[in-house]
Every structure is written in C-alpha cells, then in structure tokens.
Structure 1
Amino acid sequence: MSTAPAARRPAVLYVTDYSYEARGRRYSDEDVFLSRRMREEFDVEVCHPRDAAAMLDGFDAVVIRNSGPVMYYQEAYDAFRARARELGTAVYNPLDGRGDMAGKQYLVEMSRAGLPVIPTVDRAADLGLLPRAAEYAVKPKAGADSVGLRFTTDPVLPEGSDGTFLVQPRIDFRYEVSFYFIDDDFQYALYAPDTERRWVLEPYGPGPADLEFARTFIRWNSLAHGIQRVDACRTLEGGLLLVELEDLNPYLSLDRVSEEVREAFVARMKTSVRGVLA
C-alpha cells in the first residue's frame, strides 16, 4: 500500500542583520528566537539584507525582520524590492506600506490632515504652521535611529533642503508608549515610564481610547498583512500623539512581555505569514 508524499513545507527567506547594534536592544536575540519558532512550520533560511535580492529564487515568501535602517544599504534594498516584484515573491511585510517603509513623508501628510501626530512640515514656506516651542527637532526625512537629528531654538530648514528634511516642535511628554499589531489585530503594548531610558520598557494596559488612537493609524496604512508598531507619546495634557508608524522592520521587544503574550504573538505571526502565501 503506497502512501501519499508529505506536502512540501513553504520555504521562507528570513532577512535580518544579526550584527546590527542598537542602543538598549539586542536585535540578534529576537531574530534567533523568531526564526527558530518559524521553523516549526516553514523551511527557513536566514540572510543578510544585502544578500536578499540574489537569494530570492526558490523561496515562497520573504520575512523582513530586524534588518536595520535601509539608509545603510539603500541600493541593495532597492534591488531586493525590484527583484521581489519581478518574481512575484510574497513579502512580509508587503511592499506597499505607507509608513516608515516609504520614508517619513507620512508625518507631513498626517499633520496636514489634522490627525493626532506631532506637527510636522518639510518646506520653508510651511514653518509658520508649527506651534511655538522652546526647541524644534530637525531631521532628514530618509533618516533612522536619530541619524542626522539636531535641535534648534528656531524652526529652520537647512538651505536648499525643502522636501528632504522634517521640522517638528520638541514635545514635552510624560512617557512614550508603543502598540504592536499583527494584521489588524492588537497584540500588546509597552511603555517607557522613564523618559531618560526609552528602551527600558514595561507592559502597558491600554484603555479603549488608547486602542482607538492606535487603530486610526493601522486603518490609515491599510496593509493586508504584517507586523506594525505604532509609537506615540503621552503629552503633559494627557493626549496621545503619533511619533512613528513603523511598518518595515519594527523591533518587537519580545523579551519585555510575558511568556503567554510571546507565545500568542508567535502563533499569530505564523498564521499571518501563511496568509501572504494563500
């Protein structure tokens, strides 16, 4: 009596940079854990973001995780995106994200639309739209991890930099809080009660208004699948303002949540990755 061959497991290329160093975070630990758990259901091979374009053949999906700021390997990232589209390879997160995946123009667009975001402009003609503040943050639109960030007492853009730099008032806040989603499903929230130690995170129990705030940006981005992190600050007046919508490779701080929450996240991520393969 013959038996049917076992169904082939989907092959997943897991993109990360184990060597990338970030203050207060160990990217490599998180990805060693997640890639190991993904192997429970997928055939997984790990590669560096600079090698991803050349390795796409033969994989059913690509999972982009802690691959570091794209600005450090922009040419390789552009080649990867072009090759993935050429081959029709499923990418997780999908390549049509409107948040940090596409640069920080979304902060300008959201500010113009009146969404609850730190007021942001990118043109000298619009500097007068910013509220008065003791200091202003000036940073490159394509930047990451505070690269190129500087503070000024007046809202000014570098000469000739219209459209390439952002200017925001420096906001006084009580704490920063992050909301983590898979697809449209809220997973957990973490916050930094000490503003001087922003990566010393603790579990945060969001109320209904907090979750509706975060969901506003998940709906705005309209990603069909993927992991997103909504970073916000709690103002002195008590409201929340968006700091960043990370939809490319958000660090998850899984070492800061309970085992129960971590296991639920892993199970939901597996289901979500299977969804991009459907």
Structure 2
Amino acid sequence: MKKIAYLASRVTLPGSPIRRTDAFEHDFMMDALRGPFEARGFRIEEVSWDDPKADWSAYGAVIIGTTWDYWDRLDEFLAALERIEGQTRLFNGSALVKWNVRKTYLRELETKGAKLIPTLWLDVADDAAARAAFATLESDDLVFKRQVGAGAKDQHRLKRGEPVPEMRHPMMAQPFLPMIQTEGELSFIFIDGEFSHALIKRAQPGDYRIQSTYGGREEKITPGADDLAAARAIIGTLDEAPLYGRVDMLRGADGELLLMELEVIEPYLYPVEGPELGERMAAGVARRLGV
C-alpha cells in the first residue's frame, strides 16, 4: 500500500500540548480522507511539516494540509517544501505556494479580471500610514490584514479616529463591507479543477470574523449559476488546475461577488459540508500519480 503524507503541524496534530482550538478541523479532514484513500490502495499518514525524522522519500506523495503555523515561520516552511518536493510529489506544488503565500497575488488576479475589494497595500503599517488609509480608501471603517497570514491572526478592524495598534507585519487595508455580517462569506471548493461543493460562513452576532475560532458557523449551499461561474473564473486564472483550491468571496453592493482569497496552500476544505470530498481527493491523487 502506497503511503501518502498529509502535511500538518505541531499545532494541529492530535495529542500536541500546543494544539489549536480549531484543530478539530484537522480531525475532520483525516476522517474524510482515510477511507477513500485506503480504497484506492493508499495509506494516508499525518506528519508535521517540520518533523526532522520524516523520510519524505518514503511517501508516494505529500499533500499540504493543516500547516497552520507557517505564517510565523515562512522562510523555514518554504525551505521545507522545497526539500519535500526534491524527494517526492508535492500537492500543491512549491512554486504555486510561493506565489499564493503573499496576498499581493490578488493584484495579479485583478489584472486577469478578478473583482476585488478596494485594497491598499502597506508594507510599513505605522500610525501615519494606517491613518492615511481612511482617506485613500474613502471609508470610516477599515479592516487591516497581514499580507502573509491566515485565520484572522493579527487582524484589526478600526474606525476612523480610533487608536492604531502596533502592526509589525506588512499589511493590507480594505473597507469593511457589512455584507460579511448579513449574508456572510461564500466558499467554493474545487478538486482537480472541478467544483466539489460550496458553503456560506457566518460570524457570530456582534463579530465579523467567520472562523470557527471566533464562533463562526458554516452552512452548505447550492450556489446560483452566476456565483458559481464567478468562482470558476478565479480557478481558471491559474495556468493549471491545482489538486485543491478554495475560492472565498463576498458579495458587493451591486450583487456581484468580490474575491477575498484564492486559497491553494493549506485551506480547510469543509468535508462535513462536502461528503464527497475524500473520494474526490483520492481520485485526484490517483490520477496525478498515474495509478
């Protein structure tokens, strides 16, 4: 039976003393993948990306999964991916990861037709730059996000005139869109370039962050044709279909969807809302390995 590594981290592996509160999502992914992979002759094993004892050449492939600490160890993480890719197949590939790891990739997608929330890129997010962003973006309510980050870590929602917290990382600033608190954020999951399932993520009352860590909740949806076409168009901007990708979008004032993120590094793929995910992933890996 060919071994497949599911790349995790010390903050998501079961039994870890520093396990994240949302690491149950890692468990959901493993539960979804094990059976379908075994049915195709694969044994999937969870391995931390920084495990010094890991023999990557022993695996037929490595799938980047819940590597949910990479944003604070970026250079180390990217170097580890290059080592892995030098010994076996890596999904998604390191070149795609390097491109996707900094949210400045959104600027490239905009040139290819993606509609974005107006964004100001602040490589130095000091007090003066943050305050100037309100005038530049013509908004009294802004969200500041790390250019390299995930899970709303070090993210700030600020109103004009409020104290500016220390922001030590390059940031991106966007107007706050109330739709995140009304309709919610839409996510479209694609496996091997094909649509798998979609869901809507909503924040708990009084918050705007939709992640489970902050009380966010999810609901499976059947997307309308126009919404699905918008998400497909984002996946279509890539030179080739990744093994997996998640397109996160928010509806603008005109009713059209705006791209928030194209996640092709380590996104949670919501297997509870997409019960066919495991089979789709297993089939995709089998096709790519030619077995």
Same fold by TM-score, threshold 0.5 exceeded? Answer: yes
The residue number in structure 2 matching 1:95 is: 94
Q: How does 1:1-278 map to 2 (within 5 A)?
A: 9-16=1-8, 17-19=12-14, 20-23=19-22, 26-41=25-40, 42-51=42-51, 54-87=54-87, 89-97=88-96, 101-111=100-110, 115-123=114-122, 127=133, 131-154=137-160, 164-173=170-179, 174-192=183-201, 196=205, 198=210, 199-257=216-274, 262-263=275-276, 265-278=277-290
What is the CA-CA distance between 1:112 and the residue it aligns to?
6.1
In structure 1, C-alpha distance between the alignment counterparts of 2:50 and 2:23, rounded to whole Å: 24
C-alpha change, 1:27 and 1:98, in structure 2 (3 Å) is closer
Q: Which amino acid aligns with 1:228?
A: G
Q: Deviations over 1:144-170 (max 9, x none)?
A: 211111123359999997x92211111
Unaligned runs of 5+ in 1: 1-8
In structure 2, C-alpha distance between the alignment counterparts of 1:232 and 1:217, rounded to whole Å: 10
Q: Which amino acid aligns with 2:288?
A: V
Residue pair 2:114, 2:234 contacting (<8 A) in 1 also: no
C-alpha change, 1:112 and 1:52, in structure 2 (3 Å) is farther
What is the CA-CA distance between 1:36 and the residue it aligns to?
4.1
TM-score normalised to structure 1 length: 0.80
What is the CA-CA distance between 1:30 and the residue it aligns to?
2.4
In structure 2, C-alpha distance between the alignment counterparts of 1:226 and 1:268, rounded to whole Å: 10
What is the CA-CA distance between 1:135 and the residue it aligns to?
0.9
Q: Which amino acid aligns with 1:245?
A: L
How many residues get paired? 263
Q: Which amino acid aligns with 1:78?
A: L
Q: Which amino acid aligns with 2:107?
A: V
What is the CA-CA distance between 1:127 and the residue it aligns to?
5.0
Name the SS for the 1:201 alignment partner: strand
In structure 2, C-alpha distance between the alignment counterparts of 1:63 and 1:72, rounded to whole Å: 20
Residue pair 1:15, 1:47 contacting (<8 A) in 2 also: yes
The residue number in structure 2 matching 1:4 is: none
In structure 2, C-alpha distance between the alignment counterparts of 1:176 and 1:104, rounded to whole Å: 18
In structure 2, C-alpha distance between the alignment counterparts of 1:159 and 1:194, rounded to whole Å: 25
Residue pair 2:63, 2:90 contacting (<8 A) in 1 also: yes
What is the CA-CA distance between 1:56 and the residue it aligns to?
0.6
More divergent stretch after superposition (141-150 vs 194-203): 194-203
C-alpha change, 1:66 and 1:53, in structure 2 (3 Å) is same
Name the SS for the 1:202 alignment partner: strand
In structure 2, C-alpha distance between the alignment counterparts of 1:234 and 1:22, rounded to whole Å: 29
Q: Which amino acid aligns with 2:5?
A: L
RMSD: 3.3
In structure 2, C-alpha distance between the alignment counterparts of 1:96 and 1:64, rounded to whole Å: 13
Residue pair 1:111, 1:118 contacting (<8 A) in 2 also: no
